[in-house]
Copies of this chain bind each other. A is one copy, B any other.
Amino acid sequence: MDAWTQLTARIRELDSLNSAAAALDWDQQTYMPPKAAATRGDQTALLQRLYHERFSAPEVGGWLSQLEAADLDDTQRAAVRLNRRRYDRAVKVPSALVEALSQARTEGFHAWVAAKEADDFSTFQPKLQRLLDLTREYASALGSAQCAHPYDALLEEYDPGATVAELRPMFDRLGKELNVLLDALAGRPHPAPFTTVLDEDGQRRLSERVLRDLGFDMEGGRLDKSAHPFTTGLGVGDVRLTTRFFADNFLSGLGSTVHEGGHGMYEQGLPNHLAGTMLNQAAGMGIHESQSRFWENFVGRSLPFFRYLAPRMGALWPTESFSAEQLFGAANRVERSLIRVESDEATYNLHIIVRFTLEVAIVEGKLQAADLPEAWNEAYRTIVGVVAPSPKTGVLQDVHWSSGYFGYFPSYTVGNLYAASFAQCMLRDLPDFWGQVERGEFGAILGWLRTNVHQKGHVTDAPEIFRAVVGDRDPVEDLVAHLWSRQGAVYGVTRPR
């Protein structure tokens, strides 16, 4: 067998291990009985170890070296390039460090749960310090001549191709522009929230109906409930979404459904014909998030979308009356807020900019765990304009750091930025865009995303996929202009020229 055949056979095995582990994780978050936790931990750890052993094995490096010297077609060259990057990362980190990190993550997570519950940072601090030390060690083990900044090595884990050099100036401009917007909205009367009580069964049926209408293939996926909504791909033909429902907060559950539907349609649209190359995977978390945010925010919070939805709600709950305008207003309330996951479409990005700023300083060695509560509050004061009364709603609010996910946060705002420019290109390419949304015809929109994003897989990194579609558009300007237009309409303000 030649090196290409052997490499792709190995990757297919790795895909199976990976998707089997994803299936176990999905089950853990949906149906697994509580007493199974330890057993499930053993199963997952074994599959992960087998994955690592079989990917970082010397023969894989050998096949890659042979292929790098061979005459390859474009797809093969892209696959070898991608797998070389991943392989080098997999073998670069000493296994003692991998184990120490895994241990620190488990301990960190448990300490964080207890600390958040008790609203007391001090018990979490030593565990967090350990995670910071190991993360810096990890970043420096991964860092190479190509990395201009040690944080880039962490970004590569979640969003390959993203760099501090590119993100920092974009995030700086975005933060300033959003503050101008929020200042303009402040003091204007808020639209009313939507608190009509709607039964869960009806909400679930509407969620499934909306997903089908958007183009999510229910024969190759499903929707379940979980405490925290998520999407996971269990391999070809199997994309699982979860959402949640609140009787008196219909819009929250709907937003989760549409958001996860965006992730799910991306997974369903990946180029399956490239199975065995790793090129058929998502290009990164930023572009993944662009898909969920595009559907959740640009489409799902628009007035035409609520014009599509309101009569369908009326059919399900005939004793209530629903107004598209009222739903539109309620879905676009804006407020400088403390909690990232509960914040609006504009403020959300300020929460991310805070975390990005702190994480870069952490990796640069400028912040230790003991400094973080104060640094957090200071960054919130400057960037978001609010300060948490205690750690629970401040530095302890997110799970990410406790589980060692440094470098993940930026992808949320990168997703919003990508989505904003994709949307503008779509409006240009599909002149009847809003008419289609209002009529519930989402096929052309999904088709555009299939062609320009989903089918690209990971043949190139996300920034290249983005630029190939949007040309020299400015995503910061696209996002800010969209927010002024959307939220300005709701609050009755226009952007100063």
Contact = CB atoms under 8 A, between A and B. Distances in A.
A35 B219 contact: yes
Nearest to A236: B39
Give the contact-size bracket for chain A. Answer: 35 or more
A40 B39 CA distance: 21
A21 to B, nearest CB: 8
A17 interface: yes
A27 interface: yes
Interface string A213-249: 0000111111010000000001111100000000000
Contacts of A37: 237
B46 A19 contact: no
Given A46-B13, A50-B50, A19 B39 contact: yes
A122 interface: no
Given A38-B236, A237-B38, A218 B33 contact: yes
Given A50-B50, A238-B36, A43 B16 contact: yes
- This chain: how many copies in the complex? 2
A33 B237 contact: yes
A67 interface: no
Nearest to A237: B35
Interface string A6-25: 00000011011101100110
Given A23-B27, A27-B23, A221 B33 contact: yes
A472 interface: no
B222 A39 contact: no
Contact of A20 (B43, B218, B221, B237): B43
A361 interface: no
Given A27-B27, A33-B221, A36-B220, A16 B46 contact: yes
A34 interface: yes
A227 B43 CA distance: 27
A310 interface: no
A35 B222 contact: no
Which residue among A12, A36, A220, A221 has the maximum number of chain B CB atoms within 10 Å of its CB? A36
A247 B24 CA distance: 33
A95 B237 CA distance: 31
B34 A19 contact: no
Contacts of A35: 217, 219-220, 236-238
A71 interface: no
The 5 closest A-B pairs by CB, nearest first: A35-B237, A36-B238, A39-B235, A35-B220, A36-B237
27 contacts: A15-B42, A16-B46, A17-B46, A19-B43, A20-B43, A23-B27, A23-B43, A31-B31, A33-B218, A33-B220, A33-B222, A33-B237, A34-B220, A34-B237, A35-B220, A35-B236, A35-B237, A35-B238, A36-B220, A36-B234, A36-B235, A36-B237, A39-B234, A39-B237, A39-B238, A40-B235, A42-B235
